[in-house]
Every structure is written in structure tokens, then in C-alpha cells.
Structure 1
């Protein structure tokens, strides 16, 4: 590997002229660094014939995402590893060890992980959905090889901009997400986890939709652990029920909850807490300025009962026509772009 990456940091794969410490703040790799968890593959680990593992970028209950490098096309990539810590672990070396009596659940989740990769690969031409380049099996588990996206999550962007943004800017950021969801729904798929931490804003100001996570939610449903991965405030009531009927209206709720969070700086009240008495405040009652018809459309998308919501993203988009002054910029909201 030395000849391949001699001028690149083994943690983030940016050029560093062979320096012993990476100078990029979001990496900070130093010679001799060890992974923060025994679950993590160390930087420099080879995956198949083409891919090199770098530093961990994210870790959830069902998997680990690494920075990576493709030797064949000489570019940075993201590598997502299926490793549900309820079912498996890693004690020594790269091989994944499945826990006693969890083989069936692990294998079920692994199949769903592969199906997810295959489904996402259908959208390689989408400018918003992160491209899955390949799925491969190694180390007793599965991996998705994906385009590397450099930027910040919408959650981080909000934190950098005073915890909330104008309605016009929120619309400009989330309009591409609506386009992507319409495309996903057209082939019978759902996202089911729309939230600011799954929306990425890149350095070139484009918007990307991440982490469909269908393998995680399907496995949770099979193992009767339905609520473990839901995000309070963003999940509609049907996701809390084992037999709750989910459809495009489920993503409508998550998207409208994300709009609400962006413009008010607050999470909507948890959907299951709104059954008896719905105390969700409208944005205007919180002093937020937006067109009345847009507010009505947003609140309809946040209705507790699925049948009372917009039934499709297309319906929501028609109600949320482009407002005057909708724009997106990395700069702070000073009135200029």
C-alpha cells in the first residue's frame, strides 16, 4: 500500500506529502494511531483487490462508514460495512464474528443490506441520491462502495447558522430532496428516515440524500425491535406500530418535520404524543415568517393521522410552490448571497 498512498494521508486520503500527521482538522490522523473501537477496521486495511479502508466517518447500531480509496480509479470513496452490534462483533483481525443464536438475524439483515445496495444502484443518474458503485462480500459481512461526499449534514449546517434558517433558504435546500423522493417513490421504494442528519450539503452547494437504511428497519421489524432506530420528532405514528401502514405519506411527514426543524429551530412534538391532544405550534405562532398557504401545506404534512396528510410528495410539492427569494448559499443570512 505504501507505493499507492505514499503522498496521501491513510486516514482521509487527501494529499499530505507523506507527513506523519494529517493537517486537516476533520481527520487529524497520526502515525501509530489505533482505531477508537475494536469493531473498526484499521486504516490501511485492504478490501478486495481495489479498496483501502481509512478512518471511520460514522458508526450506527447497524454499521460503520469509513473513508476509503479506490486504487483503480484513484479517488476517494465511502465504504459502508454491515456490522449490527446486536448480532455480531469483531474481536481479532478483520473477520466479523456472529453472536451465538444470532446467525439467522444476521444473515437476514445481510440479505436486506445487499438488496438496499441493489436498489440504490438504480439511481446512479440521480444528482441528489448518493451513488452506490458496488456491493461486495468480505470478512464475513457485506460492504457498499459509494461516492464520497465532502461537506456537512443539514444538522451541522443549522448549528453553524444560529440553529435555524429562513423559510426561503429551507425551501431551496429541501426542494432537491423532494425531487429525489418523488423519483424513489415512483419505483415503489421509501426512505423512512428523512431528518437533517441524513441530508448532506456538499462543498459545491449541492444537496445529497443519505442513508436509506432499509436493511436496518426491515431487520428491526423482523426482530420486533421496531422503535430502536426511530428518530423522535421526525417519525410519524405509523412507524411506531408493528402493523402501521407505511407509504409515501411516511416520507412526507419526515420531510415536513425537517422543514419545521429548519425554520423554527425546534423539533416537532413526537407524533405518538399528539394523539389525545395535539399541541404542535404553527411556525407563525412562534414568530416565523412564511406564506400562509405554505404554512398550511406544512402543517397538513405534519398531521398525526396518515390519511389526513398529503398522500404523495408530488401533492406536497404542488402546494409548496417556489417562494420568492428562495436561494442557497454557504454564507450566513445577511441578506446577500
Structure 2
């Protein structure tokens, strides 16, 4: 069904539930662009007129109701063999799920839920509709806390016949009323009985009546009194226990007369003046008119007068004596038969009267072995296959399970036919971590859930596809499911394009699956001192060695050579050691049109030494020369573009050495030496030509 569109407008998305009669799917209403729930009659019932009538009755019953606590009915239809009902989609959980997770519930929460259910029943009863299957499974809890009553599949109008047919009692045995169990007329008070059981279960975490079979549970509804809720959960107020006990009276006349009466009690149960009210007491039900009675047997002659005679007629006495001889011979013959029975033919008795035989315990064994053991022991074996989490063919139960039974007794074996196959739903485009947690919570083992990473345009950890596919059968015990999970887009490593020609750069990019942006967007010319004209200076937005998405278009910056106005200026510097006879370490740092604060040279000088420092200047960018002696600023010079032009026009004049007019004394303060690089030349003559 997944992926199909019913009625030309309801696209089936996923299965969200199901019962004995129908399956429920989440669907998209393509016309109104909203989520809806679509209930589809199971395929095995599409030719069963009774089920089709019941299915349509649900739509008719719910459609006649309009209440915030009743699931709204939108549409009903048939497409091919698919009979379907479209109703409100409630995103949340069932009351049964909540009970299993948190029962017993807080009294306030349980009353809040019961009040909304009762309000829905009051509306249904007012519209002459009896639900007949109130149970936690049919109560939906939305994410906003709103309670919704659903599944009117066996509801009946009170004006129609509500007598349950013999042999076809419909409803959930743990929740239906005594009159429902007897198959007699059911009415509004039957729904209130079921609501009392739901409230009992919410507050105690257990059902009031349990048994080995549905029949035994139904009999308890008829014959046994419920265990008082406060004995199970002492935190239940007496006022609330009174509501439960009154709703669950076996005699309908002793229950609430209407849902409105019960609703009023639920709404006021926690009032301070009611919490400790006296416990309700009821008269004994007495004997049910339909109950089985023990009637004493009549003794012969009881209550009659017997006429005793003292005189016997001689003729009658003779007639009585005639039977004495035959009676004696008959007794002798019987004694003879007894001797023959017990001593002469001992084996004959065993053949006639079955003997008691020890019953082999075969639960846990495989079917063939279990059948063989029981057959050899003299029993008849009946096999009933059942879905189970045990291995296929393993015996899960034997009935009866007595230690001894008469030979040739019939023993029924429940044999596992494996776990019931489930339909795989779609997990595509969901996060793998969320799906894995969901499947583990549903009972799958970690080894049943496999994953394989793949490159994809989907975000990381998103499921790309799955095996088995959507709609395929899946064994929740032995089956494995494999998800192909996105590890993001496939990335490539950015190659080194620096100092390559544009053609070489494009070839390197193409080799790894990358490309430049088209036209001028992929190339831009910039000036460069280091890289020759026509070669790549830089790349954008990724650099060498970085991971790149192949879909990203790149850009290269291509050298147009150094600026046309760039020139080299040479400055001669005379370096003098701080102390005669001892060496000083000189470090030269330059900033010019090419570099910024770059170490140009480091020299060790004893006495004096002449050195040349070359810097590059442009019209826009001059140069600065800083000379440190023994890590203290000793000399500085600022060079302008005009200095370069002056030096260029006087090629014959060699620059004169530049030296400080006075060497800083060893006692000069650090502050005095740091003040030098302010832009003025620390007494150093301008080079020749400058």
C-alpha cells in the first residue's frame, strides 16, 4: 500500500497501526495538503459482507458525531478491493502505550483522561450511539494532551438491535461488561462499565480480571467481584475508588444512569470535601436469574405416609420366596466373573480401562522430537502452529500440562511458526541514529541493524536507501535490515596550482574532478613581485590540500608581473660594534612594496663593517629600514619613491655610507632607543643621490 494513492487524493506514506479488521496508514491529502489517517479493510475480509457492513457502520457512527474528543471522520470510499475510511490524523500515542510506560498514573492525570473519554461518551450516547469497545487501545493522546476516542467499528445505534449473536461476541474481553459477556442487550451503561475498567487500569497498572482464556475472563466479569483499587494502590482517594466501583457494578441498575452523571462525579472527585467521603456500599446482587442452582434430590417416599400391614397373605409370601434361588446362583456367577477378571485375565482389564501414564514434558523441544515422545508414551497429538519469538518448529506450550494422564488422551502442542512477518516501512531521508533507536526500542537486536556509508548529496547520517525495501516482509526475530547511510558529498583534495600557467592549472583541476568558474569569474589578474607574469599567484576559495566539494567552481589569481613603477633602492649602511674589540649582532628588518617587517639580514660585526640594503618602492608604497644592534634599535631609514628616482638619475654617484652621528651609549635608556623608528632618520645622512 505504501506509495499508492486512494481515491485520487490520499497518498499512503507509512503504516502506523492495525487491528483484527483493518490496517491504519498515515497519508497525505493531496487536495487539502494535510496529513490524514486512512483505515483500510484487511484483504481477507474484502469479500465478507458482515465485515464490510461493520466497516461502513464505523464510518456512519463516527460521522454522526462532532466533538473535540472524538476522532473526526472526513471521507469513506472504495477503490478496487480496497475499502477505506479517511479520518483525522492524531500525532501522538495510545492510552495503552502510556499505561505500559508509566502506570500507575498520577490520580490527577488519570481523572483528566477519564473525564475527556466520558465527555466523548456522553456526546455519543446523546446521539444514540453506543461504542461497545472502550479500551486503552482505542484512546489516542495527541501531543497537545487532547484525548480522542476512535474505532467505532462495532458501535451500534441504540435504536437498532444490540443483542450480540451467539458465538460471535464482539469486543475486547478484558474490558467488556457482564451483559456483553452474556450476549444480551448492551447499552450506554455497558460503555460506562468499560470506562471504569480503563480508569482502574490507569490507577493500578493492572487489569481487574485475568484468566487463562477469554472464556475464563468473561466468567469472572459475571461471577467475581473486582479487587478494590485502594488495596492495589493506597494513593487512590476514596472518592475516586467509589467512582470505579460504581461504574463496574455487575447489575446495570446500580451503575451510573448516564455518562453525564459519571462525568459530574469525575469532575468533582478531587474536591477537598469529597476526597475522603465514605466508601460506597451495595446490596448483594443475590442469585442471578440465569445462574446455575443446586436442587436437592427427592428421596423415595419422602413426605409420604406408608401403610404398614401386620398380616401377610400366604400367596404373596410364596411368590417372594420363588426369587431366592436365582439370586444365589446369580451371586455365585458374579463372584466367578470377578475372579476371572482380576486373576485369570489381568491383561484384559488393561485393554478395556486406560491406565495412567506419565506425560513427557516436551516444551522447548522441536516438533518432531516432541511428537515422537508423546506418541511413544501412548498419547494422541494435535499440533497448533502459532506465531512466536521462538525458533520455527519449536514447541512453546503443551495442553494439558498434567504430570499424568489416561493413555490415549489428546495433547495439544503449540508449535512456533516463527515471528509474525512485518511489513517494512520507509525510513528513507530519516536520520540513521533516530531509526536505529526506534528499531532497538521495538525489540530488534543491534546485530540485526546494519549500515553502510556512501557518498550522497543528502546530509550526513541520513538514510539513502534500505534493504529489505518498502512493503517487503521482515522477520523481527531473525531478519536483518541494512541501511545505506550518507557520509556527505564526496570531497577531493585541492591540488597545488601556485606558479602554474592557467592551462596547467585547468588540467590539474580537471584531473581530480574540479573546474574553474566560467569566463572572467574564474580568473583575475593581480600584480606580483614573486610570481612571473601569466602564472597563478593564489586560488579562491580553497587552498592547496583542502577538501573541496566537486560542485564548487573555483577562481585563480594570475600574475601580471610586478608594478610598472616598482624600483629598487640601495642603501649603504656602516655597522659599528658597540664596544671596541668586542662583537655586536646586527639584525636588519625591512618593510617595502614587497614585504612587511621581514628579517633582511643578520651580521656579527667586530669594529666596523659596510653593508648594502636593497628595498623595493613604488609611487604608492615606500620603504623602511630598521637596524637592531644587540636587540636594541640602533638605526632606521625611511625611503620614498623620490629617493629612488634621485638615485636612478645619478648613477655615477655611489651612495655614501650611512652611520649614526653618535652611537648610543651603553647607558642609554630603552625608552630612548625605542623612540627612533618614528619615521625620521636617526642621525644618518641621506645616501648620495637621495
TM over 0.5: yes
Correspondence for 1:272 among 213, 219, 223? 219
Q: Is the 8 A contact 2:132 2:190 kept in 1?
A: yes
Q: Is the 8 A contact 1:64 1:82 kept in 2?
A: yes
Whole-angstrom distance in 1 between the partners of 2:42 and 2:163? 17
CA 112–316 in structure 1, closer or farther in 2 if over 3 Å, else same = same
Q: Which runs of 5+ in 2 are unaligned?
A: 210-216, 273-690
Summarize the alignment of residues 165-180 of structure 1 with structure 2, pairs less than 5 Å apart: 165-180=105-120
Correspondence for 1:121 among 59, 63, 66? 63
- The superposition leaves residues 104-143 of structure 1 with CA deviations (integer Å, 9 ceiling, x where unpaired) of xx2243233223212312224x111111101112122421
- The superposition leaves residues 58-108 of structure 1 with CA deviations (integer Å, 9 ceiling, x where unpaired) of 2222111111111111111100112263x44xxxxxxxxx3xxxxxxx224
Question: 2:172: which partner in 1?
Answer: 231
CA RMSD of aligned residues (A): 2.7
Correspondence for 2:75 among 110, 113, 134? 134
Summarize the alignment of residues 47-126 of structure 1 with structure 2, pairs less than 5 Å apart: 47-83=6-42, 85=44, 87-88=45-46, 98=47, 106-124=48-66, 126=67
Structure with the higher strand share, 1 or 2? 2
Question: 1:306: which partner in 2?
Answer: 252
Summarize the alignment of residues 1-337 of structure 1 with structure 2, pairs less than 5 Å apart: 41=1, 43-83=2-42, 85=44, 87-88=45-46, 98=47, 106-124=48-66, 126-161=67-102, 163-214=103-154, 224-227=166-169, 229-242=170-183, 244-269=184-209, 270=217, 272-278=219-225, 280-324=226-270
Whole-angstrom distance in 2 between the partners of 1:69 and 1:274? 43
Whole-angstrom distance in 1 between the partners of 2:163 and 2:42? 17
Most deviating of 268-277 and 44-53: 268-277
CA 177–277 in structure 1, closer or farther in 2 if over 3 Å, else same = closer
| Length-normalised TM-score, structure 1 | 0.71
Structure with the higher helix share, 1 or 2? 1
CA 307–55 in structure 1, closer or farther in 2 if over 3 Å, else same = same
Whole-angstrom distance in 2 between the partners of 1:68 and 1:166? 35
Shift of 1:319: 2.7
Most deviating of 207-216 and 172-181: 207-216
Question: 1:29: which partner in 2?
Answer: none
Q: Is the 8 A contact 2:163 2:185 kept in 1?
A: no
Alignment: residue pair count:
263
Q: Which runs of 5+ in 1 are unaligned?
A: 1-40, 89-97, 99-105, 327-337
Q: Is the 8 A contact 2:17 2:23 kept in 1?
A: yes
Whole-angstrom distance in 2 between the partners of 1:81 and 1:321? 37
Q: Is the 8 A contact 1:252 1:301 kept in 2?
A: yes
Q: Is the 8 A contact 2:92 2:143 kept in 1?
A: yes
Q: Is the 8 A contact 1:153 1:201 kept in 2?
A: yes
CA 151–118 in structure 1, closer or farther in 2 if over 3 Å, else same = same
Question: 2:420: which partner in 1?
Answer: none
Shift of 1:200: 1.1
- The superposition leaves residues 186-215 of structure 1 with CA deviations (integer Å, 9 ceiling, x where unpaired) of 011011111111111111111111112127
Whole-angstrom distance in 1 between the partners of 2:43 and 2:182? 22
Q: Which protein, 1 or 2, shows the higher relative CO under an 8 Å CA cutoff with sep ≥ 6?
A: 1
Whole-angstrom distance in 2 between the partners of 1:293 and 1:222? 34
CA 142–225 in structure 1, closer or farther in 2 if over 3 Å, else same = farther
CA 277–132 in structure 1, closer or farther in 2 if over 3 Å, else same = closer
